[in-house]
Structures are given as structure tokens and as C-alpha cells.
Structure 1
């Protein structure tokens, strides 16, 4: 393990349609990203992109789009397709991390067919489509847990639309809850570093490992070509908001330098750990409440220091 001085790390997150798609506490996802970056001395700048604003992909390192009601999605769908679509597609193909929740997830698929009115055309980032079967069919509401990357994700879902995947890879397999359509046990979709999901604003607060996954992907993408002898500096731990750049003990790792080969590998970089005891207690509480006791025990053993 080698250590080096840290250059200031900065990221810019584009928040699409913050005024239109703002239901169910989805701002909690952005607040979590900000807090976890700040705790490591990383500056995360959040820029709102509303209707009429162009999306220049080279100005951002991450993108987020939340959920809203059907009546709010129609003008968003038109703006997304006609104005922001080219920039968003370019960002996705360049492996920019994108998190799309509920309505945002639906609009990044091929189309959304509401209970009433014409179809809303999506961007087709995800090979998927969504159909709302009308008021007579119960909404998918409640806590949800799914398997992801050898562990679990938990959250809260509230959607009337049913999403069906074509060739898209799901984000995870539903352990308890409804997921994409309450039929095939899939939840969400993945394309490159774009993630669609029905898990709302409790997603990142209760899943710190997924939040860090997005942050590390963004940092790796931005800093993969470092000017200092082809190395890339990973991320400092903090103590009461102060950077620990001199301490090289294992529990307060300041900086890890990677070779150029490591820096350009497909796996995300490893962030310095934070004290996530409360987050994992909230995570395991949802698992216990859903009756997933073995998964809760596994989460405690893996993530909460004894």
C-alpha cells in the first residue's frame, strides 16, 4: 500500500427536473450523496436541470432523476426526449453514473402507458416498458428488499405502473415486495452505469454501500487519467470534518494510489469507510420487518462492526 498527497476532489451532479419529479422523499438520495462526499473531503456540487435546460454531458459527473405523478411526467417526457435526450445518451454511453427512480426509471425505458391518455415516449436507455393497468389494479406500495451484488438493498416503493424488461438486466431479485411488476421478481434495470429502480428516497440513506458504489464510479470515471505518474488518488477519511492526510493506519486510510492498470479496470474504486452503524441498523430493521431474518443477520455480520 502506498500513500500520496491528496488533490481536492470535486464532482458535479445534474439533478433532472427537481421541481417536477420530487415526490416520496427522493431528495434524500441527493442529500445522502452530499453527506457521504463531504465526510471524505469531496466537494459534490448539485445543479438543477429543469424543463427547457439543455444537458451538456461534459459538465457533469453524475445524473439523478426522481419520480412524480403522471400529470407531471408528460411535459417532462417531451423535454427529456426532445431536448435532453442526446446529452443524456452521450453521458450513459460514456459510463457516467445515472440513478433514475420510479417515474425517471420509466422515462428512461422505451415508453410509459398511463391509465389514461397517450403513451409517453421514453429514451430507451433500458430495454423495458411500463403499463399502468388502471385504478382497479392495486398499486405496488410498501417496503421492499432485493438481492444485489452479493448483499441486499432495501427501500420503499409506490407505483401504479408495471415495468417489463426485454433484454435489460434487472438491478436485483425481489426478496419481499413487488418490484417491477409484482410478477417476475425483478426490480429495476441496469445499462452500463445507469441504474433504474422503484426504490424511492430511502434507497441511498438505508443502503450506504450502493451510495458509495455510485460515488466511486463517478470518481473513477473522472480521475481515471491522473497527471501524477499515471496514478489516481482515492479518498481521504475524515475526523469531525477534517481531512486525515497524515495518518496511514488501516482504520483511517488517507489515500490509496493505484497503478494505471488498476485505475482503468472496470471495477469501481474503494472509498474510505465511514461509520454507517445507524444506516445499517435501519437497513436490517427493514429486513427484519419483512421477515428476512437470515438476510438481516448476514447484513449485520458483513457491515456492522462488532
Structure 2
């Protein structure tokens, strides 16, 4: 029987004996089997590793279709998937819709990538014109088209510069009053025309950026973790983390793309 029992990914910090005594932070990964292409599972592994590096105890719940939703939730992540994957999770997503809307309204941080970003919007309209309703947590509408937007992306966001890789055929439009996740400095973003990428409402972030995006952008990862830790423990007491290599790689990618 499918359950949502917690699993703890192995990470370098755990092997090194880094203490984790600042409290538990519960991370829920939505549909890791169906919606985790292009390395998006790495986002969850990054969050768990960084929590340990900062001295917290990560508890990761893999939520599968048909399973009970975890009772304790401090942060939610979801990834991209093929059309078949989206079909397989739609029923369960409808069952969990009210709970997810409630958590979003409470300020629970969430990161939804690509396909899950689209499903968290108002609707997806297929190439044939069929309108598929979404959760409505993010005020965006996506239309399928026959042209894909593929390639590296550089954004300016509230978390600082963010780099990643997009690969999507959906063209997403922000509704009235909906804030983007970031402004495009290189790449296509939501639709290739208005200079926006992703969407952010409360602490819910939707984005097309794969990579996985969090290991390449430590400030974004820690921004989400700070929100989750405050919810879980009442405060955020980061440890000292050496992000030299990640930041060097990020900076080189930014410089290379903005010169091109």
C-alpha cells in the first residue's frame, strides 16, 4: 500500500557528522515518480543537504497519488513531467487541492517547476483548445503551442540572480496583479515576449527552470529554507556553508550568457 512515510536522503553532511539539533523541517515532494524529469529531484536532495549543513533535521515525505497527505508540512516542492505524468497526478491533485490552497494561504513556501507550475495556475489550454482547470494558487494561464522554448536562462529575482535551463512548449501569461518570479535577462521565460519568468504569490514560487535549479542558486535555496525553518521552529539560524563553487559556476554562467 502506498504511504507518505518520511525518507531521509543520504548527503555529505550526514556522513561528515554535522550536528542537526535546531529542530525538524518537514519537506513534502509532490509526485517524485511522475513529476521529476530534468533532474528536479535534485531540488529536494539539495534542500535536505542544506538543512543539515545549517544544523536542522530534514524530514522528507514523498507524496504519491492516492496516499494520505502528510500532516506536518513546512515546505513543498514539485517538478516537471511529461503530459502522461500530469494525467496520472491530476485526480490526486484535485483531492489535495483544498489542503494545498490552505497551506499556500498560510505562507508555506513552495517551489513548483514546469509541469507543476502549470498545474498550480488557473488553467492549461491545449493546442486543440481544451481548457484544463488548475489549482488557482498562482494567477497564470498556460496555452500549449507547437514551438518549444529551450535553453539557458538568467533571471533577476527577489532572491538575487538565478540561473537555470528551460524546456517547455507551454506559453504562460500572468493574470492581472500576478507578480512574476523574476525578470528575464537571458532566455524566453514565460512566453518569450513580456520579459517575465514564473510567478510568485505569498511564498509560492512557480518557474520553468530546471537544472535542478536549487543547487545552482544557493540564495534561492536558503531563501525558501529560511521561510520553512521559521514556520517549523520559530526562527532561522543558518550555519556557515561554503558555496564558493556553486557561486563561481553561477557567476560564470551569467557572464557567459549576458555576453552572447
If the length of structure 2 is used for normalisation, what is the TM-score?
0.87
Query: Structure 1 stretches of 5 or more lacking a match?
Result: 1-5, 225-231, 236-270, 294-306
Q: Distance in 2 between matches of 1:159 and 1:273?
A: 36
Query: Greater Rg, structure 1 or structure 2?
Result: 1
Q: How does 1:148-187 map to 2 (within 5 A)?
A: 148-149=157-158, 151-166=160-175, 167-187=177-197
Q: Distance in 2 between matches of 1:108 and 1:202?
A: 19
Provide the residue aligned with 1:193 in structure 2.
203
Provide the residue aligned with 1:60 in structure 2.
73
Provide the residue aligned with 1:122 in structure 2.
134
How many residue pairs match? The answer is 240
Q: Distance in 1 between matches of 2:183 and 2:44?
A: 25
Q: Residue 59 of structure 1: SS of its match in structure 2?
A: coil
Change (3 A) 1:150 1:216: closer
Change (3 A) 1:7 1:277: closer
Q: Distance in 2 between matches of 1:121 and 1:50?
A: 21
Provide the residue aligned with 1:48 in structure 2.
62
Q: Distance in 1 between matches of 2:213 and 2:247?
A: 12
Q: How does 1:271-290 map to 2 (within 5 A)?
A: 271-290=238-257
Shift of 1:200: 1.2
Query: Structure 2 stretches of 5 or more lacking a match?
Result: 1-19
Shift of 1:98: 0.6
Root-mean-square deviation (Å): 1.8
Change (3 A) 1:50 1:116: farther
Q: Distance in 2 between matches of 1:7 and 1:67?
A: 33
Shift of 1:129: 0.5
Q: Residue 68 of structure 1: SS of its match in structure 2?
A: coil
Q: Residue 91 of structure 1: SS of its match in structure 2?
A: helix
Shift of 1:289: 2.1
Q: Residue 96 of structure 2: SS of its match in structure 1?
A: helix
Moved over 4 A (4+): none
Q: Distance in 2 between matches of 1:292 and 1:44?
A: 39
